[in-house]
Amino acid sequence: GENVEQHPSTLSVQEGDSAVIKCTYSDSASNYFPWYKQELGKRPQLIIDIRSNVGEKKDQRIAVTLNKTAKHFSLHITETQPEDSAVYFCAASKTGTASKLTFGTGTRLQVTL
Amino acid sequence: EAQVTQNPRYLITVTGKKLTVTCSQNMNHEYMSWYRQDPGLGLRQIYYSMNVEVTDKGDVPEGYKVSRKEKRNFPLILESPSPNQTSLYFCASSLVQTGEQYFGPGTRLTVT
């Protein structure tokens, strides 16, 4: 089955700096790649997703890039703010939807003042 | 308000005592899923359902059962809970075609 590896497991950045989280996947048939943010004690929430027919997608300070050849995708957060502090999960699916998602193990992002 | 609800939110039980965690959504979503979240392991899918009476195993289905008799409800059943099922459980739903998945608030289960 699919295997998703996520790095780093923890990341500390200063407010205003950029943060990058990387994921690799094993199944070349995967075609849907969402990112979820989970604040402490809260439920995961979708923040951005990308499908395999697109190489990059942006939403304000957040962007995701996808390299199908290398089978990896990355989350980029620019101008980080304290409210960006959370655990971020990447995931992959080959159904084109949220069904049969395989998640990475998460990255704890800490934005310091 | 569009939402996914789970009950109970917290549960402490003993080994072998059957329990059910309920999940309900009011968004008319076809797709529903159960995950467990454990430290260092991320979210792992237990079971999912593409529509009424259609369910399938996820990555960690052993020791769990589900049913989908109505579109809005997707209960998770542990017929004989064991301590290794102590975890944080999330239910989620989405429209099949969009992929945006909405999670419930979570149920923290402790099996002693």
Average pLDDT, chain B: 95
> Which residues are bridge partners to B112 per DSSP?
none
What pLDDT sits at residue B2? 80
Dist. CA B63–CA B46, nearest whole Å: 10
- Pairing type for strands B107-111 and B10-13 reads parallel
Top pLDDT among B2 and A65 is at: A65
CB < 8 Å to B38, chain A = none
Average pLDDT over residues A83-108: 93
Choose from A23, A48, A101, A102 for mutation: most chain B CBs within 10 A: A101
Average pLDDT over residues B50-58: 93
Does residue A33 contact residue A92 with C-beta atoms inside 8 Å? yes
Whole-number pLDDT of residue A95:
85
- A39-53, B38-52, B94-108 — which is least confidently predicted? B94-108
**Which residue from A6, A89, A101 is facing B45, i.e. has the nearest CB?**
A101
* pLDDT on residue A104: 96
Distance from CA of B42 to the nearest CA of A (A): 4
pLDDT at B99 over 90: no
As a whole number of angstroms, the distance between CA A35 and CA B56 comes to 23
Say yes or no for a CB contact (<8 Å) between A98 and B33.
yes
Check residue A54 and give its pLDDT. 83
Record: contact B90-A1, CB cut-off 8 A = no
